[in-house]
């Protein structure tokens, strides 16, 4: 992936990893568009970062995605990079049989990226140096049992990214998976943003950008902090890592 001169869409760019990536790519000389469901947060991003554009989007809404894709490509015809970052992470108890959380998580974390990428792919295939980046998680490889559907959607995103990469081989569209570790954001609540056990957000973004720049053909962006989760199966210590994560 080239690091400058792009027109980049980042879903869920109104906070956390999405906003931090938007600011990092803006600083590199890219045109950046962020989306989110919270208008006030989007306005805050734009106010703090002159040059970033904002558009409201609920990635869990199929009809909204169709209309959004048409407007986006009309307003930003140079669009060549999509970063599927929007996601939710909510705890679930199997004994409670509350299916609403699972359905919302699948709609946002899995169907959202698939629908949006599908809608924008014809446009991207007409661009040089195009890329689709999708945020999975270290929990795609070793699940945290209190968030079963979240972990399942991230495992599915990993598999989907591998298949998409294979199908698009030989085209102008590069497929990249970002698999963050536990990072200081508000994904699971305010406590996570200051949890000393989580990787500082600035450190995660800095290392991610460095890998993207130094390894332009990389298919997976794995910071050092996520390596134990990513390679637990290969290293034959999955049960030990799972035990530590869920102890």
Query: Two tokens at 140?
Result: 């795609």
Which of 25, 68, 147, 150 is catalytic? The answer is 150
pLDDT of residue 21: 98
Tell me which residue range forms the domain holding 222: 7-246
Overall number of domains in the chain: 1
1 part of a folded domain = no
pLDDT of residue 126: 97
pLDDT of residue 116: 98
Q: For the sheet with 53-56, list strands across it.
A: 53-56, 31-36, 7-10, 81-84, 130-135, 173-178, 220-221
DSSP secondary structure letter of residue 185:
S
188 part of a folded domain = yes
Burial 75-87 (b: 16+ CB within 10 A, else e): ebeebbbbbbbbb
pLDDT of residue 96: 77
133 part of a folded domain = yes
In this prediction the pTM is 0.97
User: Helix (H) and strand (E) counts for the chain?
Assistant: 10, 7
C-alpha span between 175 and 177 (Å, rounded): 7
Q: What is the pLDDT of residues 91-123, one digit of tens each?
A: 999 887 779 999 999 999 999 999 999 999 999
We report the CATH number of the domain holding residue 115 as 3.40.50.720
192 part of a folded domain = yes
Backbone angles phi, psi at 174, to 5 degrees: -90, 140
pLDDT of residue 94: 84
168 part of a folded domain = yes
Q: What is the pLDDT of residues 138-148, one digit of tens each?
A: 999 999 999 99
CB atoms within 10 A of CB 185: 22
2 part of a folded domain = no
pLDDT of residue 147: 97
Q: What is the pLDDT of residues 32-76, one digit of tens each?
A: 999 999 999 999 999 999 999 999 999 999 999 999 999 999 999
Query: Two tokens at 65?
Result: 């995605």
Q: What is the pLDDT of residues 199-239, one digit of tens each?
A: 999 999 999 999 999 999 999 999 999 999 999 999 999 99
150 is catalytic: yes
53 part of a folded domain = yes
């Amino acid at each position: 992936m080239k690091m400058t001169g792009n027109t980049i869409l980042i879903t869920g760019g109104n906070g956390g990893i999405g906003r931090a990536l938007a600011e990092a790519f803006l600083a590199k000389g890219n045109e950046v568009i962020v989306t989110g469901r919270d208008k006030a947060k989007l306005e805050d991003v734009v106010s703090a970062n002159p040059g970033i554009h904002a558009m409201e989007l609920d990635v869990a809404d199929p009809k909204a995605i169709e209309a959004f894709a048409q407007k986006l490509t009309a307003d930003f015809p140079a669009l060549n990079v999509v970063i599927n970052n929007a996601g939710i992470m909510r705890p679930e108890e199997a004994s409670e049989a509350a299916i609403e959380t699972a359905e919302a998580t699948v709609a946002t974390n899995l169907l959202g990226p698939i629908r949006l990428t599908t809608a924008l792919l014809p446009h991207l295939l007409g661009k040089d140096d195009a890329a689709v980046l999708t945020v999975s998680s270290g929990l795609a490889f070793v699940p945290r049992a209190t968030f079963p559907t979240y972990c399942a959607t991230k495992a599915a995103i990993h598999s989907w990214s591998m298949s998409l990469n294979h199908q698009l081989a030989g085209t102008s569209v590069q497929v990249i998976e970002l698999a963050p570790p536990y990072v200081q954001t508000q994904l699971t609540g305010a406590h996570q943003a200051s949890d000393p056990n989580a990787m500082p957000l600035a450190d995660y973004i800095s290392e991610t950008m460095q890998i993207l720049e130094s390894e332009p053909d990389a298919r997976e962006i794995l910071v050092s902090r996520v390596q134990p989760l990513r390679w637990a199966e290969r290293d034959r210590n999955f049960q030990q890592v799972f035990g530590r994560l869920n102890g």
